[in-house]
Amino acid sequence: MVPANEVLSIVKAVEAKYPQITDDRIRMAVTFCAFGNRNIWFNSKRGRISAARFFHGAFLASVFKGTALNVVKITNEIDQQTQIKSRP
């Protein structure tokens, strides 16, 4: 478990590395990639959450904004399939 300020510092480092990215949707995707292979968790109002999952969900929410698609359900389904396919 890491403090929220550590997660924020990683986000700021990504933003500093890619200042040309101004589209928040792309920024969320890049940030997800930055956290994707790390096992970083932080506390939220609903309990602990993986930083990669948080930014993955934020990216999908920004892409599907204004649609009738259920982002939480889609994210959960992607996570389940990823777990199934990554088993030895």
Question: Which tens digit of pLDDT belongs to each residue from 51-78?
Answer: 888 888 888 998 999 999 998 899 889 8
pLDDT at 20: 96
The answer, yes or no, to whether residue 37 has pLDDT greater than 80, is no
The answer, yes or no, to whether residue 87 has pLDDT greater than 80, is no
- What burial class does residue 44 get, using C-beta atoms within 10 Å of its C-beta: 0-12 exposed, 13-18 middle, 19+ buried? exposed
If you average pLDDT over every residue of the chain, what do you get?
86
Domain boundaries, position 35: 4-85
Kindly give, in sequence order, each residue whose CB lies less than 8 Å from that of residue 49, ignoring residues fewer than 6 positions away. 41, 42, 43
What would the pLDDT profile of 73-83 be if each residue is shown by its tens digit? Answer: 998 898 888 88
Please state the domain count of the chain: 1
